Amino acid sequence: MTEQMIATDHDFDGAAIVADLNRLLRLRTTPIGMKMFATQADMEAIPRLRRPKDIHTTDQIVGQAARNGWTVGITMKDLVGAQCGTVIGLHPADDEWLSGDRMAGVWYADATEAMKHQHSMDVVAFGQFEAMAVSPLASGRLATPDICLIYATPAQMILFINGLQWTGYKKLEWGCVGESACADSWGRALKTGEPSLSIPCFAERRYGGVLEDELLMAIPPQFLPKVIAGLEALSNNGLRYPIPQYGINNDVRAGMGISYTTG
């Protein structure tokens, strides 16, 4: 990473970041943070923390923060099974999990295809953490989260990515595991420390409340000031959200002159 991509913990102001994102992109869904904890006690020290009374998927826990505005903390005992826990490092990627036997014949044609899927997933190494918490970024309850989760429409998301690429440009490449796409977003971002875009899967939409037109960016917080600065620069150039329709039948030269040249 370049120096332009780094912000210190001291520089990160979740409330200000959210205000800027909402001003520049008009987000509909609450940006949230996710943080892993070495011990359950550390997690339970978070102010105004909610603990589940029922068994959930991680998608639901994330949804409770993003859709309800709650601060929620969990351990493996709160999750419905190994698929959820393994992605965030609360359960080992053991032989039983890697077999994918519960997906064979349901999501994949047979045991071989299901196993290939499991091996393709980005997951956090087991043994580092006992607990995880999510909370709205603007609340400040997680201090500096490990990653931030931004839900946005494709139009909002491409401008978010354009802002990220304004300085320190590099081509961004992601994958798609299909089902269990949380491995593409929070799994990959927690594992690699890199911005990670995903197409939320069936489970995220059915159980986590993700809307039909939403994509998910999981991104470490140190990247967000850079994104905001890039979005501000793009906005000053007239490249902002919502993207106005130019018209499919109009002479394009006047519009292209404004969008792709200076002066």
Measured in degrees and rounded to the nearest 5, phi and psi for residue 140 equal: 75, 10
pLDDT at 238: 93
pLDDT at 76 over 90: yes
The CA distance from 246 to 243, in Å, is 9
214 contacts: CB under 8 Å, gap ≥ 6: 29, 151, 152, 153, 200
Q: For the segment 91-141, what is each residue's pLDDT rounded down to a tens digit? A: 999 999 999 999 999 999 999 999 999 999 999 999 999 999 999 999 999
pLDDT at 2: 33
The mean per-residue pLDDT over the stretch 242-256 comes to 91
pLDDT at 213: 98
Beta strand residue intervals within the chain, DSSP E: 32-37, 72-74, 131-136, 147-152, 196-198, 215-219
The CA distance from 233 to 16, in Å, is 17
CB atoms within 10 A of CB 162: 15
The sign of the torsion formed by the CA atoms of 89, 93, 94, 99 equals: positive
Q: For the segment 194-219, what is each residue's pLDDT rounded down to a tens digit? A: 999 999 999 999 999 999 999 999 99
